Amino acid sequence: MSNKSKQLRELLDALTETLVADEVIYAGLKAMVSATIAEKRLNLGMNQTEFATHMGVSQGLVSRWENGEENFTLENLSKIAQKLSLEMQNPFKEKPKAKHIIKSNIVPFPGTWHGSRYDNSANYELMEM
């Protein structure tokens, strides 16, 4: 690992040390939304004041949106998407269940006895985590 990579890893570790998963998700979503608004506004050739007039809000509110300082309501996001010709999508997706195949060598008899025959097909077990 290069020195820069190590320093970046240490910085990220220090920044995220006290964050919990939901805070990281929230910060990431907020940053993506803010960046998308600013990028789309710039691509349309509007400054913040022009976009604010287009939206019917203050320039200061547009600035807070783009700097991630404003908590978006679904109503505001919907209006912003409409004015910027952006598609709204459901941010929720089902997490895929992780599947692991585990070979058990610890249990002396992981299979079952059928009369005088031992069946070890249970030696491999599919577990959902």
112 and 70 part of one domain? no
Q: What are phi and psi of 107, to 5 degrees?
A: -75, 125
30 and 54 part of one domain? yes
List the CATH number of the domain containing 35.
1.10.260.40
In a domain, 2, yes or no: no
Domain total in the chain: 2
CB atoms under 10 Å from CB of 34, counted, come to 18
Task: Specify which residues 128 forms β-bridges with.
Answer: 99
51 and 108 part of one domain? no
112 and 63 part of one domain? no
Q: Which domain holds residue 16?
A: 10-83
Q: What is the full per-residue pLDDT of the chain (129 aa) written as tens digits?
A: 677 777 877 777 776 666 677 787 888 889 999 999 999 999 999 999 999 999 999 999 999 999 999 888 999 999 999 999 999 988 888 877 766 555 554 444 455 555 555 555 555 454 554
pTM of the model: 0.59
